[in-house]
Structure 1
Amino acid sequence: MSMRTRAGALLAVAATGLALGATLAAPADAAPQAAPKFLSAAQLPPHPSSTWKAGKVTDGVPDEFLGCLRETLPGYDSRYRPFTTDLETNAQQLTIVVGSTAKAKALADRLNKEMRECAARVEEADPETDATYKSYGTLPVEEGARVHGLHTVTSWGASDVHLLSVGRDGRTVTVVQWGQMGDLAHAPVKAFKKTTTTAVDKLY
């Protein structure tokens, strides 16, 4: 092999090695990601007198989502699945895949902040509505999840309770919301925490 041919071969090997190294060193954020999976109806907190039904997965943000969070979500590509019972109980799961883990963390942090401030914002928007917020702590699943509760009572006596969680797995944020008539004392917190853990675990 001539010196020129040998030098060319060495350069080709070196270039291949550099390309392979660049591939191995590429950040995980750049890797393609499968579509996240959603909860099934059977994975919702059991209803004492009705059966959950799961709707189809749809692009966008559900209309039933708390207004405190809806303002944060425009501009993101999101998908959701609604769940209903025959009575006044409903639930939704929303998933959002963003460009990096840093962006996903920032989104999850913002959603948690919006939820903590939701009661005060509800009362500011409607002084005749009483709103109470309660934190139910964090869950050790994937990059973590946090569970919140919100109880509202209107001036005409309508009492509604919501449980909501924000969880993250890599570049994906998922939000699970459960709601019915009643107050926080009747909310299935333990079962909802199990549902949240399943939701985050099941994404990938």
Structure 2
Amino acid sequence: MRLFRTALLTAATAGLAVTVLAPTSAAAAPTPAPVLPKFLTAGELPPSLTPWTAGPVRRGAPQEGSVCTAETVPASGTRYRDFRTELDTQARQTITVATTTARAAKLAADLRTSLETCLDRLKEQDPGLEGEAFYHGGIDIEEGAHLYSIDTSYPEVGSTDIGLYSVGRDGRAVTVVEWGQMGELDGAPLEGFRKTTRTAVARLY
């Protein structure tokens, strides 16, 4: 009888040890870091007469520039990278990771609306501004991407600027790519920008 009780006590003690140690081992397991979407590199921008230079990736929504989407891009979950050349051509990629795919889809739709209404809003703010805006179609990549151009000018001073814009989404990640320089749409690398947009969305995940 004493041996039977001893065996039960030993088994109970062993079971308790397993019960106590198991949660400790689980708690010690490291939490994997979330996978962040990847940004474009300088070499993936449309070809330019002088090389592109890529800036650092920064957290939060851009504080300057991005006049068409500044009020739509949230600071939370957003990072961006600026690019430039020696000939005053500039570009920017902004990536936002939403908390759900539904919110990402809404953000992408809101960004498209911001681009589609941007020229009218700019004209309201500056009555001397003239311009044209065009939608250049979609790209069949992941959840889709869409291209736009906005051509603006100040006739009184003779200056013209052309901007190319795109919005794309892959799951919870939404990206906006912007490209701009002095000139008109005829001199803008629209097909090169289309390729850059496809690469930008494909590189998100």
TM range (shorter): 0.7 to 0.9
Secondary structure of the residue aligned to 2:46 is: coil
Q: Which residue of 1 aligns with 2:107?
A: 107
Residue 61 of structure 1, CA deviation: 2.7
Secondary structure of the residue aligned to 2:201 is: helix
Secondary structure of the residue aligned to 1:72 is: coil
Q: Which residue of 1 aligns with 2:10?
A: none
Q: Deviations 1:149-198 (Å, cap 9, x if unpaired)?
A: 00110242221110010000000000100000001111101000000000
Give the whole-Å Cα distance in 2 for the aligned partners of 1:62 and 1:158: 25
1:191 and 1:64, CA in 2 relative to 1: closer, same or farther beyond 3 A? farther
Question: For structure 2, which runs of at least 5 residues remain unmatched after alignment?
Answer: 1-32
Q: Which residue of 2 aligns with 1:135?
A: 135
1:132 and 1:193, CA in 2 relative to 1: closer, same or farther beyond 3 A? same
Q: Which amino acid aligns with 2:170?
A: D
Q: Is the 1:80–1:94 Cα contact (8 Å) retained in structure 2?
A: yes
Secondary structure of the residue aligned to 1:67 is: coil
Give the whole-Å Cα distance in 2 for the aligned partners of 1:41 and 1:64: 21
Deviates more, 1:119-128 or 1:72-81: 72-81
Q: Which amino acid aligns with 1:62?
A: P
Q: Is the 2:61–2:75 Cα contact (8 Å) retained in structure 1?
A: no
Residue 75 of structure 1, CA deviation: 4.2
User: Is 2:186 the partner of 1:193?
Assistant: no
Q: Which residue of 2 aligns with 1:181?
A: 182
Give the whole-Å Cα distance in 2 for the aligned partners of 1:156 and 1:170: 45
- Equivalent residue runs for 1:94-173 within 5 Å: 94-154=94-154, 155-173=156-174
Question: For structure 1, which runs of at least 5 residues remain unmatched after alignment?
Answer: 1-31
Q: Deviations 1:59-94 (Å, cap 9, x if unpaired)?
A: 123355332210112443310111110111010100
Give the whole-Å Cα distance in 2 for the aligned partners of 1:86 and 1:113: 32
Q: Is the 1:65–1:177 Cα contact (8 Å) retained in structure 2?
A: no
Secondary structure of the residue aligned to 2:68 is: helix
Q: Which amino acid aligns with 1:158?
A: S
Q: Which amino acid aligns with 1:199?
A: A
Q: Deviations 1:116-168 (Å, cap 9, x if unpaired)?
A: 11111111111100021011100000000000000110242221110010000
User: Is 2:78 the partner of 1:88?
Assistant: no
TM-score, length-scaled by structure 2: 0.80
May I ask how many residue pairs the two structures share in their alignment? Answer: 173
Q: Which residue of 2 aligns with 1:23?
A: none
Q: Which residue of 2 aligns with 1:8?
A: none
Q: State the Cα RMSD in Å.
A: 1.6
TM-score, length-scaled by structure 1: 0.81
1:198 and 1:97, CA in 2 relative to 1: closer, same or farther beyond 3 A? same
Q: Is the 1:62–1:82 Cα contact (8 Å) retained in structure 2?
A: no
Q: Which residue of 2 aligns with 1:203?
A: 204
Give the whole-Å Cα distance in 2 for the aligned partners of 1:184 and 1:61: 27
Give the whole-Å Cα distance in 1 for the aligned partners of 2:131 and 2:181: 15
Q: Percent same amino acid at aligned positions? A: 45
Higher-Rg structure is: 2
